[in-house]
Amino acid sequence: MHRGRLRRGARAVAAVLTAGLLGVAGCDASGGGEPAPSGTEGRLGGPSPRPKPPVWDTSPSSIAAVGDSITTGFDACAVLTDCPEVSWATGSSEKVNSLAVRLLGKAGAAERSWNYAVTGARMADLPGQMARAVRRKPQLVAVMAGANDACRSSTSKMTPVEEFRADFEEALRTLRTALPKAQVYVASVPDLKRLWSTGRTSTLGKQVWKLGICPSMLGDPDALDAAAVERRETVSRRVEDYNEVLAEVCAEDPRCRFDGGAVHAYRFGTAQLSRWDWFHPSIDGQARLAEIAYRTVTAKKP
């Protein structure tokens, strides 16, 4: 055969093979002959996924508070009296600048914050308080409870740790059943041993404590014998156990933030204690609690 025809024949075969290969490649790349996607979608294999919103909202629009006398502002304004206007959680006082005021503004706090704390409450009372709080459908619930579980007539009367855990878990279940997306701020139990060491510097404070304020820790405040030291250490260890429970249970809920022990670690002095009982926070003490709560709630990461 003539060489020219051979070359033309070879070129024709090559063209057919090339077209066939391109056809197969095009089908594989785009799936059934559809044009292959281009740009970012082509490189990643589909539309870019939208970023998920953060689980924790640092600016909730409503707040409910539950807990004990610390959250009611007891003995901060007058003797043996609740003073909710200076509550660290929901108070309106400019001297405190409460968590609610910091997050919602003064007008917003007046309209969209609620305080269900009760003086004398223990952790066993928290589920009931939570049940009342959820009726308001708050976006954030602030919790401070546990001091009264340790402050009993004797160390043997302190709430067992497992009961404390069960009551706290029940309170959170009550919240989650009604409001699955509500957030929770949990404050640690204050350092009762520091309360003893700070308040005992006041003669008046020690006289008031004799009326029966937290006997397990504050009873016979000047006693330094082995039994007294062990009694105070027993209370202190129980408070640490309570805080460990709060941290563990809260960590299991992505919409719960524990303060990391900040309230317990705060080095308060006499200025932060009520001048009537040397036990509850003063107005200044309430302001310090509000600061800790606000830092925890508004932090980008827990």
| Tens of pLDDT, residues 160-174 | 999 999 999 999 999
Strands 256-258 and 183-186: parallel
**pLDDT-based confidence at residue 46 (cuts at 50, 70, 90):** low
Question: In this predicted structure, which of 50-54, 91-95, 119-123, 210-214 has the lowest mean pLDDT?
Answer: 50-54
**pLDDT-based confidence at residue 55 (cuts at 50, 70, 90):** confident
Q: What is the pLDDT of residue 103?
A: 98
Question: Angle 263-240-99 (CA atoms, 0-180°, nearest 5)?
Answer: 20
**pLDDT-based confidence at residue 300 (cuts at 50, 70, 90):** very high
Query: What percentage of the chain carries pLDDT values higher than 70?
Result: 82
**pLDDT-based confidence at residue 45 (cuts at 50, 70, 90):** low
Q: What is the pLDDT of residue 49?
A: 66
In degrees and rounded to multiples of 5, residue 224 shows phi and psi of -125, 15
Q: What is the pLDDT of residue 141?
A: 98
Q: Over range 21-34, report the average pLDDT.
A: 37
Question: In this predicted structure, which of 38-47, 170-179, 276-285 has the lowest mean pLDDT?
Answer: 38-47
Query: What percentage of the chain carries pLDDT values higher than 90?
Result: 81
Sequence-ordered list of residues with C-beta below 8 angstroms from that of 63, at least 6 positions apart, any chain:
89, 90, 99, 100, 103, 104, 109, 112, 113, 114, 138, 139, 140, 141, 142
Q: What is the pLDDT of residue 302?
A: 82
Condensed to tens digits (0 to 9), the pLDDT of residues 95-150 reads 999 999 999 999 999 999 999 999 999 999 999 999 999 999 999 999 999 999 99
From residue 133, how far is each of 88, 140, 178, 184, 230 by CA, in Å?
Answer: 17, 10, 10, 12, 39
CB 198 within 8 A of CB 269: yes
153's tokens: 């007539």
Q: Over range 208-219, report the average pLDDT.
A: 96
Q: Is the pLDDT of residue 3 over 50?
A: no
Average pLDDT, the chain: 88
Lateral strand order in the sheet of 183-186 = 113-115, 63-67, 140-144, 183-186, 256-258
Q: What is the pLDDT of residue 98?
A: 98
Location of structure tokens 């007294």: 228
From residue 232, how far is each of 49, 144, 228 by CA, in Å?
Answer: 56, 22, 6
What residue ranges do the domains of the chain occupy?
A: 1-30, 63-298
Condensed to tens digits (0 to 9), the pLDDT of residues 67-100 reads 999 999 999 999 999 999 999 999 999 999 999 9
Q: Which CATH code fits 63-298?
A: 3.40.50.1110
Question: In this predicted structure, which of 4-13, 159-168, 214-223 has the lowest mean pLDDT?
Answer: 4-13
Say if pTM beats, i.e. exceeds, 0.85. no
**pLDDT-based confidence at residue 36 (cuts at 50, 70, 90):** very low
Output the CA torsion sign for 182, 238, 208, 201.
negative
Q: Is the pLDDT of residue 200 over 50?
A: yes
**pLDDT-based confidence at residue 42 (cuts at 50, 70, 90):** very low
